[in-house]
A = this chain, B = another copy of it.
Amino acid sequence: MDNKLMLMIPGPTPVPEAALLALAKHPIGHRTSEFSNIMAEVTENLKWLHQTQHDVQMLNVSGTGAVEAGIINFLSPGDRILVGSNGKFGERWVEVGEAFGLNVETVTAEWGKPLDPAQFAEKLAADKDKQIKAVIITHSETSTGVINDLEAINRHVKAHGEALIIVDAVTSLGAFNVPVDAWGLDVVASGSQKGYMIPPGLGFVSVSPKAWEAYKTAKLPKYYLDLGKYRKATPKNTTPFTPPVNLIVALHTTLGMMKAEGLESIFTRHQRLKNATRAGIQGMNLPLFAADDAASPAITAVAPQGIESDKIRSLMKKRFDIALAGGQDHLSNKIFRIGHLGFVSDRDILSCIASLEVVLLELGYEGFTPGGGVAAAARVLSQS
């Protein structure tokens, strides 16, 4: 059956009907009191979601654009930065740093393994002259389903004292606890097609007072991505450039839904979705790509043995209209990724695991007992 698509990729994520209907509303003028009223509520709710008392800036860009803005606004050519790299997105922030002439040093881990906080501690402790101006971390590495220990790494950044902590929270914000003010996270960037439950097109950047201090002397050139321009406009409930009005109206709707659900419930739900997915995968005797203690609450990567990942994905799409993500770069056809981020319910996980069982049977995979995946997922769901 076609036209009954179920998105279980790490983004775009499923969009609730109320947000789809909001998207379909005729745009209103962006220099009107009606739009300003929406902006005022969106700004308040973004602060709530980021657990910060400071304004969160909203840009008409993808997640990459948001992270780039989060980097280039606070640094000058030649500045030394430390970038954690253990997947596609960590590698991308290295590329951004190099494109802007920063002096990039990396802390790496194999794709599928988390970054080691001790390696950050060592490099930061060795930097007696305080030359490291920023540490850039991908919190949830979308390419592998690994979550990095941001809290631990950030403690070492705080001990250093000088460096800013800049976080790619694109697939963690709205799924995992990211208490911006409590942890003292200087820059946190995210994108709309993830935990926010709306289509792609908006990026978000929270900025700490310490980062705004760095902004004053930062010399990398910028205009459209100049967060200072957004900072001036936000308290006036407006935007420096024409904003994507329809997406913002839809965001207004989903932020309201998130607030009604509550942060704790959102985080608990994502933990439960992750645990049920992982149990289901293990119940089919398929290998998980990331270890339990480094498993992202947003994405589960699976590394099947003896069956091509792309065959599984292709049959899941054809047979059940469930979209799963493939592996990127050298992991192409080696893993598949299940997104369980945003507007995803317990039922969706059961549908996905049950459908996977049928697909495995049809592909002739004999390494599991039919029903084993669903039973394992059910056990988690019934206990939590």
Contact = CB atoms under 8 A, between A and B. Distances in A.
Q: Which of A27, A28, A65, A241 has the most CB of B within 10 A?
A: A27
A136 interface: no
Interface string A253-270: 000000000000000000
A182 B326 CA distance: 43
A258 B23 CA distance: 22
A323 B31 CA distance: 10
B242 A193 contact: yes
B201 A244 contact: yes
A311 interface: no
A87 to B, nearest CB: 16
A55 interface: no
Given A27-B15, A30-B12, A224 B65 contact: yes
A144 B241 CA distance: 18
Nearest to A170: B242
A28 B322 CA distance: 11
A26 interface: yes
A200 B99 contact: no
Nearest to A66: B224
Contacts of A246: 23, 199, 201
As for how many copies of this chain the complex holds, the number is 2
A12 B27 contact: yes
B191 A242 contact: yes
Contact of A225 (B60, B63, B201, B224): B224
Interface in A171-202: 191, 193, 199-201
A112 interface: no
A226 interface: yes
Given A5-B28, A23-B24, A99-B223, A60 B61 contact: yes
Contacts of A368: none
Given A27-B7, A60-B60, A95-B223, A199 B68 contact: no
Interface in A10-40: 11-12, 14-15, 20-21, 23-32
Contact of A222 (B14, B61, B99, B241): B99
Nearest to A61: B60
Contacts of A68: 223-224
Given A29-B323, A200-B60, A11 B222 contact: no
Contacts of A101: 221
Nearest to A67: B224
Contacts of A32: 323
A25 B199 CA distance: 10
A64 interface: yes
A16 B241 CA distance: 23
15 contacts: A11-B242, A12-B29, A12-B245, A14-B26, A30-B200, A60-B61, A60-B65, A61-B224, A62-B242, A64-B223, A64-B241, A64-B242, A68-B224, A99-B221, A201-B244
Interface of A: 5, 7, 9, 11-12, 14-15, 20-21, 23-32, 60-65, 68, 72, 95-96, 99-101, 191, 193, 199-201, 220-226, 241-247, 323, 325-326
Given A20-B24, A72-B221, 13 more contacts: A7-B27, A7-B29, A12-B28, A12-B245, A27-B200, A60-B61, A61-B65, A62-B224, A62-B244, A96-B223, A100-B223, A201-B244, A201-B246
